[in-house]
Amino acid sequence: MQTHEIRRRFLDHFVKAGHTEVPSASLILADPNLLFVNAGMVPFVPFFLGQQTPPYDRATSVQKCVRTLDIEEVGKTTRHNTFFQMAGNFSFGDYFKEEAIAFAWSLLTGSVEDGGYGIDPEKLWVTVYLDDDEAFAIWRDKMNVPEARIQRRGMKDNYWSMGIPGPCGPCSEIFYDRGPEYGVEGGPEADEDRYIEIWNLVFMQNERGVGISKDDYPILGPLPKKNIDTGMGVERVAFLLQGVENVYETDLLRPVIDKAAELTGALYGDKHEDDVHFRVIADHARTAAMLIVDGVNPGNDGRGYVLRRLLRRIVRSARLLGADRPTMAEFMAVVRDTMAPSYPELATNFARIETVAVGEETAFLKTLGTGSKLFEGAVDAAKAEGRTVLGGTAAFTLHDTYGFPIDLTLEMASEAGLSVDEDGFRSLMAEQRQRAKDDARARKHAHADMTVYKELLDRGPTEFTGFGELVTEAHVL
């Protein structure tokens, strides 16, 4: 079943059950605390918090999501994309646990002729929160899931809150067993690579107060109106239904892998290391296109930095696979062709997507070769001196002169078995910022006219705050 169809069937299933179909929100919301929308419920937060009254009791959507926390996982696990589509159904004080469970189960296991996904119920496992006997009983008695395939899990996996006082509650998750050739027996508790998480059902039933930590807070009591929030990974269901090996080989991303093979001469499926680069290219090319179309431009901080990092990782991966000329325009064209049936804005805005992505590629290709040489020299020197740490000065020069995002340097260093003196790097960055400020001040005194400000504005944001500080996304589902 094609990914577009999986997406469409989800919406149809819930519309039939009285849900209003709500289009995906942009990846970028006004909230400066949230880097990108990272779950289907994010646009509905004001309804869940009771700050606004929803115009419907039931809604369904397929929300565009970006999770920067998963960047390092891409290509290494079978199931993590940086951009993915989260399909969800939401109840605002309307139906609760039993209906939410029954809706999910009937879509997953319903026959293909009747609009379902036709998954064999024997392949599915479920989890519930430790003391959620109600959910446990619904799975066992109403859905007829054998007790042996229902696992109880603790706070970390199966209890949801937004990290602030307000609604919270237990979750129940659905997993697909890929079979013994993919790992050990024993359900998701034993092996999340064999048992792939596909759907999270959140039962918002309690209100929490202020706690001492993200996971330690008082439950004040039951909510007056209970809500349902669910999220199903469209890419994960596609990977499992299409019988491929991972989320990068589905109908939406495999064509990018094939294009990369054609352009670089490398073979997919030949060497693990190369395969990771192929998957990184496929995943990141799509994420970059989706970010650009939602208005992000490459930059040195915040959202722009994430986009820059993704684009530069693509360039580096293509290089490592053997590309000796630019490839970005062709990757973007494949993304457009596979994704436009669900996201026509990729076709209508293609010229801009191409210009931005190729611009970044051109800039990075100019310095990638010399930067890599400098990097290798620094690694050799460190190793020759018996050091396991790459100096902050090298990292700073790579960033400042060659445009290597610090995370790329960290990654390359770790591939070479070294760590990086990040404190040294940061203090050099801070010194540079101070110099820039002093310069600006000196120039302001020199000519007290508006051109100074204009120049600063033209230059754009130059402050670099480090990737670690950018991961501000609340883990909301």
Q: Which residues of 243-260 are buried (b: 16+ CB within 10 A; e: fewer)?
A: ebebbbbbbbbbbbbebb
- What Å distances lie between residue 96 and 59, 101, 231, 270, 307, CA to CA? 13, 9, 15, 48, 39
Options 10, 84, 350, 375; binder of ligand ATP; rule CB under 6 A: 84
Q: Please provide residue 184's backbone torsions phi and psi, each rounded to the nearest 5 degrees.
A: -85, 155
Q: Which does 327 bind (CB under 5 to 8 A by kind): ligand ATP, Mg ion, none?
A: none
Closest of 226, 206, 224 to residue 165, by C-alpha: 206
Options 197, 207, 411, 421; binder of ligand ATP; rule CB under 6 A: 197
Where does 385-450 have alpha helices with state H? 392-400, 406-415, 422-446
What does the binding site for Mg ion look like in residue numbers (CB under 5 A)?
Answer: 197, 200
User: Which range binds ligand ATP by CB under 6 A, 80-88, 139-147, 259-267, 394-402?
Assistant: 80-88
The residue (of 253 and 429) whose beta carbon lies closer to ligand ATP is: 253
DSSP string covering 105-136, please?
HHHHHS-TTTTS----GGGEEEEEETT-HHHH
The residue (of 13 and 399) whose beta carbon lies closer to ligand ATP is: 13
The residue (of 70 and 337) whose beta carbon lies closer to ligand ATP is: 70
CB of 108 to Mg ion, least distance (A): 16
User: Which range binds ligand ATP by CB under 6 A, 55-63, 130-138, 232-240, 272-280?
Assistant: 232-240
CB of 404 to ligand ATP, least distance (A): 25
Cβ distance 63 to 37 under 8 Å?
yes
CB of 443 to ligand ATP, least distance (A): 46
3-state secondary structure (DSSP) of residue 277: helix
3-state secondary structure (DSSP) of residue 466: coil
3-state secondary structure (DSSP) of residue 333: helix
The residue (of 200 and 327) whose beta carbon lies closer to Mg ion is: 200
Options 86, 150, 253, 408; binder of ligand ATP; rule CB under 6 A: 86
User: Which range binds ligand ATP by CB under 6 A, 47-55, 79-87, 147-155, 462-470?
Assistant: 79-87
CB of 67 to ligand ATP, least distance (A): 5
Question: How many DSSP H helices and E strands does the chain contain?
Answer: 17, 11
Options 199, 248, 278, 467; binder of ligand ATP; rule CB under 6 A: 199
Closest of 227, 282, 191, 194 to residue 47, by C-alpha: 227
Options 70, 72, 134, 337; binder of ligand ATP; rule CB under 6 A: 70
Q: Which of residues 128-167 bind ligand ATP (CB under 6 A)?
A: none
Options 60, 63, 78, 81; binder of ligand ATP; rule CB under 6 A: 81
Options 166, 233, 371, 403; binder of ligand ATP; rule CB under 6 A: 233
CB of 72 to ligand ATP, least distance (A): 11
Q: What is d(CA 114, CA 464) in angstroms, rounded to the nearest whole number?
A: 53
Return the residue nearest ligand ATP (CB atom).
233
75 binding ligand ATP? (CB under 6 A): no
Looking at residue 71, its amino acid is I
The residue (of 47 and 199) whose beta carbon lies closer to ligand ATP is: 199
The residue (of 67 and 319) whose beta carbon lies closer to ligand ATP is: 67
Looking at residue 347, its amino acid is A
Backbone CA torsion sign across 251, 68, 425, 457? positive
- What Å distances lie between residue 112 and 1, 5, 13, 442, CA to CA? 9, 11, 12, 71
The residue (of 197 and 361) whose beta carbon lies closer to Mg ion is: 197
Beta bridge partners of 87: 62, 232
Residue ranges that bind ligand ATP, judged by CB under 6 A: 67, 70, 79-81, 84, 86, 197-200, 231-233, 235-236, 247, 477
